[in-house]
Structure 1
């Protein structure tokens, strides 16, 4: 006979969250990742400056002044964008891997031993997209030579983004940062199911178009592999 606590857990209703939580979470995550990247780069710059000052003092020099070349005070935008991209990409890749692992368990047509890229792509367009955005993608096209195009005509996360009038360029930049995450989700899910891919994305708010170039690989059934040099989105 099962203990009372176990019996209660068996009949406990599943936890539920607001349908829009994922959209707002992605918006907040984008900002948090930017702040994390900025803090990391600033800390690295300050550590390098402190090291250079110690070296100069050791050889009998004076402390660096603000206008000397060794003084690092400005974080380059390209470095900040790249640091943000790597963080968003890593998060999306892990989410995609985990979603594919959980949602593909009862899918007889999804075989990791001999992956069928088209069936796997349909699985992403239907099951994974529905799990994330409560809707399927609007269009899937392929040239039957390893290239697929996924279109979402009204990407839900974009609907929660707003900027003051006259700051439309900032909205475009914010959306470009956001789509790094779903691009990595697609790549992580494909890798879990035995398909290696390079994903690029184009946006025309509120539309997203993902282009996926695929090659078959041998998946690791236990843990997500390392994610070296993730592809940069267009």
Structure 2
């Protein structure tokens, strides 16, 4: 019963999210850089949501922050953990979600559609905002190696301790 409720909430949010994409796309279509502006607005929306989604526990190491993002924060957002975490043991981490919720209904032929770019921008914003709330300033990028997998990489230049 609880799982059905979570699925309903998730589906409702996905529907709302796609409507938000349409709204920003329509609001910026008259601009010469409308698509870029819409992506920026959606990424910022994700950032603000990410910032507000975390009560700021204090961590003493970078790996504690990353573990919290993978287990606590991602689970809070999507009711599941990150599938895989990779790092270059420096300041770059790659979070791999093998079934990213907003990509499960996307067909492979739609991989390069503007909506998919908006989904990735929002995901980057969520991660960047969450990390920002934990005191980590970073650059976040996303890529789709194959549908519905999403790889989110973040680079924390100059972060040596928390």
SS at match of 2:81: coil
Q: 1:127 aligns with which of 72, 78, 85?
A: 72
Indicate yes or no: 2:158 matched with 1:201. no
Indicate yes or no: 2:26 matched with 1:24. no
Q: 2:26 aligns with which of 35, 53, 60?
A: 35
Q: Deviations over 1:141-181 (max 9, x none)?
A: 1122111000011111112346xxxx924764321221110
Tell me, yes or no, if the aligned pair for 1:96 and 1:189 is still in contact at 8 Å: yes
Tell me, yes or no, if the aligned pair for 1:91 and 1:181 is still in contact at 8 Å: yes
SS at match of 1:144: coil
Q: CA RMSD in A?
A: 2.6
Q: 1:182 aligns with which of 123, 131, 134?
A: 123
Tell me, yes or no, if the aligned pair for 1:23 and 1:160 is still in contact at 8 Å: no
Q: Which residue does 1:152 correspond to in 2?
A: 97
Q: Which residue does 1:10 correspond to in 2?
A: none
In terms of fraction of residues, the more helix-rich structure is 2
How many residues align structurally?
154
Q: Which residue does 1:222 correspond to in 2?
A: none
- Superposition map of 1:1-234 within 5 A: 18-38=9-29, 42=30, 75-76=31-32, 79-101=33-55, 104-105=56-57, 110-111=58-59, 115-161=60-106, 168-169=109-110, 172-203=113-144, 204-215=146-157, 216=159
Stretches of 4+ aligned residues off by more than 3 angstroms: 169-173
Greater C-alpha radius of gyration: 1
| Structure 2 unaligned regions, length at least 5 | 1-5
With normalisation by structure 1, the TM-score equals 0.59
Give, in whole Å, the separation in 1 of the partners of 2:114 and 2:26.
15
| Structure 1 unaligned regions, length at least 5 | 1-15, 43-74, 220-234
Higher relative contact order (CA 8 A, sep 6+): 2
Q: Which residue does 1:6 correspond to in 2?
A: none
Q: Which residue does 2:3 correspond to in 1?
A: none
